[in-house]
């Protein structure tokens, strides 16, 4: 069974929440690795993002080949090119969205400071996702989800307010970058949900196209990295190796497949709130490893955000309107429209959960 099949097989709504929470936790550790590269290797934000995407692309391709086995590698490569030809728009959109989300956030931190960048990007992200999910995906936003959304955003504001911050040189420009970053995040979240909610083949396609999406993101970031300076400072090359490998592996090659697998059963608005675990992880690293301190206001925000995530994790079946297939558990008999779509595209399907390889 391939890695993509394993990720999408038999995912319940609760497991999907756990997958997304794990992915967000991994993303939260990326800031520490990036800080090491800024400090020890002399790299800038665009160069760090470009190296992260390039390393993540290579690792995803490696995992894909290992998951398929040596005998199927050539057929798998052909399948990858078929995916590129038949889903060019999705792959380009995903890659550009990832590049915008990552790089605009770093630019916002540089221009407006950490507090403004974090609050605007991660605070407006769930709002944009919830609005887009309602308008574009016909997802019904219940009262519980709205309450969790409000608690999560309020907690994020309190957490950022309770941390030390510095005002950047261009706060208004930084605000614009943060909104751009939030838009990129909302776009890839909604795209992943739209693909994953239709059929298991849609989820498999999303995961299969991830290496191509990151390759597109790498190409988007390459001109910025070249202008900024793509190589570590002289004599600091070895200082960059481990942080770059970590960025490519944990918050990229492992986290994003988990995130998109979770979107198979978790509504986009819910996923955006669960992803607020990311700044919690970053705050925990700052307190335990970097010597930063949280004020009582920051602690209150942390509790609110954790409460929002736990509320969503223990909730029942996702409430999705429009007759979409969003099972709490994977069923033996999907709705007729899903069954017909799967039957029409058998070459896109992976083995079912009861089959093992």
Strand residue runs (E) in the chain: none
| Interval 76-104 mean pLDDT | 75
* Closest listed residue to residue 275, CA positions, set 230, 238, 305, 249: 305
> What's the pLDDT at 312?
64
Helix (H, G, I), strand (E, B) or coil at 196: helix
Contact 341, 335 (CB under 8 A): no
Least confident range of 27-36, 206-215, 324-333: 324-333
Domain boundaries, the chain: 3-318
pLDDT of residue 300: 84
Q: Quick one: residue 270, left, alpha or beta (phi over 0 = left, psi -120 to 50 = alpha)?
A: alpha
CB 255, CB 7: distance < 8 Å: no
Give the pLDDT band of residue 347 (cuts 50, 70, 90): very low
- Average pLDDT, rounded, for the chain: 72
Q: What's the whole-number mean pLDDT along residues 258-278?
A: 80
Beta-carbon count within 10 A of 342 CB? 17
The CA-based angle 40-284-259, given to 5 degrees, is: 90
The pLDDT score that the predictor gives to residue 245 is 96
- Output the pLDDT for position 70: 56
- The pLDDT of residue 69 is 58
User: Given this model, what pLDDT does residue 95 score?
Assistant: 85
């Amino acid at each position: 069974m391939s890695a993509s099949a394993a990720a999408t097989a038999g995912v319940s709504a609760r497991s999907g929440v756990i997958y997304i929470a794990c992915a967000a936790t991994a993303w939260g550790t990326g800031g520490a690795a990036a800080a090491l590269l800024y400090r020890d290797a002399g790299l800038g934000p665009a160069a760090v993002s470009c190296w992260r995407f390039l390393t993540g692309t290579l690792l995803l391709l490696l995992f894909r080949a290992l998951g398929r086995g040596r005998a199927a590698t050539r057929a798998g490569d052909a399948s990858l090119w078929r995916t590129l030809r038949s889903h060019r728009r999705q792959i380009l959109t995903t890659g550009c969205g990832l590049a915008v989300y990552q790089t605009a956030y770093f630019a916002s931190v540089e221009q407006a400071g950490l507090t403004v960048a974090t609050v605007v990007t991660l605070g407006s992200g769930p709002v944009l996702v919830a609005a887009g999910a309602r308008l574009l995906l016909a997802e019904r936003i219940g009262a519980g989800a709205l309450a969790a959304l409000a608690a999560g955003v309020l907690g994020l504001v309190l957490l950022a307010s309770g941390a030390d911050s510095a005002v950047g040189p261009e706060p208004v420009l930084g605000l614009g970058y943060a909104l751009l970053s939030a838009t990129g995040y909302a776009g890839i979240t909604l795209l992943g949900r739209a693909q994953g909610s239709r059929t298991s083949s849609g989820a498999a396609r999303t995961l299969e196209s991830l290496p191509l999406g990151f390759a597109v993101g790498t190409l988007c970031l390459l001109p910025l990295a070249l202008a900024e300076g793509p190589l570590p400072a002289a004599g600091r090359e070895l200082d960059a190796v481990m942080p770059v490998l970590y960025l490519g592996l944990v918050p990229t090659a492992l986290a994003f497949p988990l995130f998109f697998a979770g979107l198979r059963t978790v509504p986009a608005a819910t996923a955006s709130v669960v992803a607020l675990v990311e700044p919690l992880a970053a705050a925990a690293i700052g307190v335990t490893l970097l010597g930063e301190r949280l004020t009582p206001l920051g602690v209150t925000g942390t509790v609110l955000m954790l409460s929002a995530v736990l509320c969503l994790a223990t909730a029942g079946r996702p409430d999705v309107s429009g007759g979409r297939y969003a099972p709490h558990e994977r069923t033996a008999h999907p709705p007729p429209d899903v069954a017909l779509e799967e039957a029409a595209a058998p070459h896109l399907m992976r083995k079912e959960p009861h089959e093992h390889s």
